[in-house]
Amino acid sequence: MQITVHGTPTQLQGKELIIGGEAPAARITKLDGTKNVIGMIAPTVQLLIAIPSLKTEVCSLGAKRFDELLRPYKKLTATMITTDDLESVKAFTEREGIEAAQVVVDADRNFAKKYGLLITEGKLKDRLARAVYVIDRDGIITYKELVPEVVDEVDYDACIAAVDKLVNEKKTGHTHENWMSV
């Protein structure tokens, strides 16, 4: 798999995930230094937002834009993942008031490798490619966007439409009424 970085073709490490496939569990580091797992089956719909570096203009603007767009969604677990150092991520989230998503660090590059997003060469080596994944409660990827050029932004409208559809979907179970009326 490959993307471009300022027009230069750049390889990504890891397995390419597909819509309809299972979202792998990945270890990340929360801002308090504890480890957690994201992906897989969860009690709520998940939105995973891979951000190369909050120290750049495109990434910081994207994080702030997602924070605004996600505020209405109370039944969503949104996670922004970056490979920046813990201290700079803490400072960014405090300074910008990021509240609608949890911002975490992929310190061990576990998420990057499991989601096929680890940049393996060039000036962004060991960073994440820019991508978003929407995962249903059963741990299935229902929407994915891997941005082909790392300096471009994601399609916010398409991503939020995928989140909205899944969060507002009514789960239907089986009913006993039909067999009882025979």
Domain boundaries, the chain: 2-168
- Gap between the Cα atoms of 59 and 69, Å rounded: 15
Q: Give dist(CA 32, CA 52) in Å, integer.
A: 21
Catalytic-role residue among 17, 28, 59, 70: 59
pLDDT greater than 70 at residue 178: no
Nearest to 133 by CA among 33, 28, 50, 26: 50
User: Is 168 exposed, middle or buried (CB count within 10 Å of its CB: 0-12, 13-18, 19+)?
Assistant: exposed
pLDDT in tens, 78-114: 999 999 999 999 999 999 999 999 999 999 999 999 9
**Which residue did the predictor score with more confidence, 178 or 116?**
116
What is the side-by-side order of every strand in the sheet holding 2-5? 2-5, 8-13, 118-119
Model confidence at 170, pLDDT cuts 50, 70, 90, reads confident
pLDDT tops 90 at residue 69: yes
59 is catalytic: yes
Those residues with Cβ within 8 angstroms of residue 13's Cβ, 6 or more apart along the chain or in another chain: 112, 113, 116, 118, 120
The arrangement of secondary structure in 2-168, i.e. its CATH architecture, is 3-Layer(aba) Sandwich (3.40)
**Distance between CA atoms of residues 106 and 169, nearest Å:** 31
Distance CA 182, CA 169 (A): 30
* Cα separation, 35 vs 31, whole angstroms: 9
